[in-house]
Amino acid sequence: MTALPDWMRPPRAEGWFAEDLDRLPEAPRHTELIDGALVFMMSPQRAWHGRLVTALTVALTSQAPDGVEVEREMTIRLDVRNRPEPDIVVTTASYDPDRTWFAPEDVRLVVEVVSPESAHRDRTVKLRKYAEAGIPHYWCVEDEDGWPLVHIYELDRPTGAYAPAGIVRGYLRRTVPFEITLDLDKLTPGRPH
- For 190: left if phi > 0, alpha if psi spans -120 to 50, otherwise beta; the answer is left
**Domains in the chain: how many in total?**
1
Judge contact between 48 and 142, C-beta under 8 A: no
Residue 192 has pLDDT above 60, yes or no: no
Domain assignment of residue 3, yes or no: no
Alpha-carbon distance of 34 to 54, in angstroms, equals 25
| Average pLDDT of the residues in 101-116 | 97
Q: What is the CATH number of the domain that holds 100?
A: 3.90.1570.10
Q: Read off the pLDDT band of 37 (50, 70, 90).
A: confident
Q: What is the pTM of this model?
A: 0.92
The per-residue pLDDT for range 113-171, each reduced to its tens digit, is 999 889 999 999 999 999 999 999 999 999 999 999 999 999 999 999 999 999 999 99
Domain assignment of residue 138, yes or no: yes
Judge contact between 84 and 33, C-beta under 8 A: yes
Domain assignment of residue 28, yes or no: no
3-state SS assignment for residue 47: helix
Residue 193 has pLDDT above 60, yes or no: no
Around Cβ 175, how many Cβ atoms within 10 Å? Answer: 7
Alpha-carbon distance of 86 to 98, in angstroms, equals 18
The per-residue pLDDT for range 58-88, each reduced to its tens digit, is 999 999 999 999 999 999 999 999 999 999 9
Domain assignment of residue 9, yes or no: no
Note the helical H segments in 72-180. 119-120, 126-132
- Domain span at residue 163 reads 47-187
Q: Which amino acid is present at 143?
A: D
**Among 187, 182, 104, CA closest to 148:** 187
Domain assignment of residue 5, yes or no: no
